[in-house]
Amino acid sequence: MRWYLDNQYERDQFVTEQLAALPKGSLILDAGAGSQRYRQSCSHLQYRAQDLGKYDRDDKQQLGDRTSRTRPRYPYGPLDYEGDIWGIQEEDATFDAILCT
């Protein structure tokens, strides 16, 4: 039996395989895209990104330094839709696929 505390490799492999199977030119929405981890796997797709866009720093980088005044900004990629996912102003069935990881 194999025990994994972090299965990120398996998740990344699964997601990239699913993205590769989408037809070229499909319009995909990366919902809650954050730093857009899978954007590079969507080069054959029309990629759109959505996120809240409200975080101004990455807390994971700050665990040992809570007093720093030069906190790095959260590494968002360019967002096509900023705000709540329910507020996206698009018609039903606009997207061919939605990625939400």
Q: pTM of this prediction? A: 0.78
Residue 69, in any domain of the structure? yes
What pLDDT sits at residue 1? Answer: 53
Residue 99: Cβ-neighbour burial (10 angstroms; 0-12, 13-18, 19+): buried
Owning domain of residue 73: 24-99
Say whether pLDDT at 36 is over 70: yes
Within-domain flag for 61: yes
Instruction: Please report which confidence band the pLDDT of residue 69 belongs to, taking 50, 70 and 90 as the band edges.
Output: low
In a domain, 7, yes or no: no
Q: Which amino acid is at 98?
A: I
Report if residue 82 sits inside a domain.
yes
Would you say 48 and 29 are in contact if contact means Cβ atoms under 8 Å apart?
Answer: yes
- More confident position, 63 or 8: 8
Residue 11 domain-assigned (yes or no)? no
pLDDT of residue 72: 65
Residue 15, domain member (yes or no)? no
